[in-house]
Amino acid sequence: MPDTNSNPIIFYDGVCGLCNRLVQFVLKHDRRDYFRFAALQSDLASEVLQRHDRDARDLDTVYVVVDYAQPAESLLARSDAILFLLKHLGGVWKLASLGKILPRTMRDGLYGLVARNRYRVFGKYESCMLPEAKHRAKFLDAQ
């Protein structure tokens, strides 16, 4: 079991160009060193998603695990996950939490449209990206 000190873990599609850009975005703007990462294709993601009755083969969804391995562990998906991570990046990104005023069905509908077209628009890699050495400890599936 990885030691995350209850840092939220972002599960992302490791071969998706858009998802990899999201990870790079979070690494750049996470000034508090708050987030950790693991590919949806990892054993860690599979284990956590099973606990929450989610299918680890569903690569169309980004997840954020809050309070990993704690009694209050929760799993945020799709637009809720994106809004959570933007809010916790702080600064101007916190304004994204205003997206909560839209109904989840509307937010997730837009999320689904992007997710269905992400490989075509942003590309697909042959394998998961390797993090730079300075960020490697943040990637729980690369240790």
Average pLDDT, the chain: 85
Residue 42: CB atoms within 10 Å: 19
Return the domain boundaries, the chain. 9-138
Q: Which residues are bridge partners to 38 per DSSP?
A: 11
Evaluate if residue 79 carries a pLDDT over 70: yes
- Note the pTM of the prediction, 2 decimals: 0.86
Max CA distance (Å), the chain: 40
Q: What is the pLDDT of residue 126?
A: 64
Tokens at residue 116, please?
A: 């269905």
pLDDT tens readout for residues 89-128: 988 888 887 888 889 899 888 878 887 777 666 666 665 6
- Residue 20's pLDDT band, with cuts at 50, 70 and 90, is confident
